């Protein structure tokens, strides 16, 4: 597998970004839902700190991924009606937006609540604004609603990937999976 993407397939870097981030985001989302239900304790503080550190890592990876995307090639879309290609573009843009907006809203909530912020106990990060109880309540809602919006967009995203694989039987999913090979016949079709 080459490092760079080409017109036919995603390269190693794009695939690693996709799957590492997908895993981190899903784990951190479930983690977030579970941690808010915990009774107050010392371990709850550690659990929150880990959630924030993973979320900040997602934010940093998201920025690196977007920078890489500007530099990397982009595989041509498999043949599909125009409305589906437009829907895919909008969904992907929405996912990129949420990858950045969810951690940023968490950081905003943390700042407005006046909590300190560290990345895996390695270094401190600054507050995004002064402490403000009203803003903290808004930011908390924004963080939570953006997460549920992500879940909704992901249902469409995963549904579309499975439709391409099982109904259209094209290479859309195979060319993004870590070790899968393209179907040779579909490759010929999409080249012609």
Where do contacts with ligand HEM occur on this chain (CB under 6 A)? Answer: 18, 22, 25-26, 28-29, 32-33, 36, 48, 51-52, 55-56, 58, 69, 75, 77, 88, 92, 95-96, 99, 102-103, 106-107, 109-110, 117, 140, 143-144, 147, 154, 157-158, 161, 172-173, 176
Backbone angles phi, psi at 127, to 5 degrees: -75, 150
Closer Cβ to ligand HEM, 44 or 185, answer by number? 44
Q: Find where tokens 């995603």 sit.
A: 10
Task: Please enumerate in sequence order all residues whose Cβ is within 8 A of that of 101, keeping only pairs 6 or more positions apart, or say none.
Answer: 146
Residue 83: CB minimum distance to ligand HEM, A = 15
- Contact predicate 160/88, CB 8 Å: yes
Of 11 and 103, the one with the shorter C-beta distance to ligand HEM is 103
CB 172, min distance to ligand HEM, A:
5
Q: What whole-number distance in Å separates Cα of residue 74 and Cα of residue 69?
A: 8
* Number of helices and strands in the chain (H, E): 5, 2
Query: For residues 166 and 184, which CB has a smaller minimum distance to ligand HEM in the complex?
Result: 166
């Amino acid at each position: 597998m080459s490092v760079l993407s080409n017109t036919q397939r995603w390269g190693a870097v794009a695939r690693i970004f996709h799957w590492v981030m997908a895993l981190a985001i899903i784990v951190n989302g479930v983690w977030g839902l579970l941690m808010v239900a915990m009774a107050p304790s010392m371990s709850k503080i550690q659990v929150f700190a880990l959630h924030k550190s993973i979320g900040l890592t997602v934010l940093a990876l998201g920025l690196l991924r977007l920078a890489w995307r500007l530099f990397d090639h982009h595989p041509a879309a498999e043949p599909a009606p125009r409305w589906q290609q437009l829907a895919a573009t909008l969904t992907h843009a929405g996912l990129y937006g949420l990858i950045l907006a969810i951690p940023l809203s968490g950081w905003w909530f943390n700042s407005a609540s006046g909590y300190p912020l560290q990345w895996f106990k390695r270094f401190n990060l600054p507050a995004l604004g002064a402490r403000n109880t009203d803003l903290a309540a808004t930011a908390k809602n924004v963080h939570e609603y953006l997460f549920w919006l992500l879940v909704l967009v992901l249902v469409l995203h995963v549904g579309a990937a499975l439709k391409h694989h099982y109904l259209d039987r094209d290479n859309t999913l195979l060319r993004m999976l870590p070790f899968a090979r393209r179907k040779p016949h579909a490759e010929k079709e999409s080249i012609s």
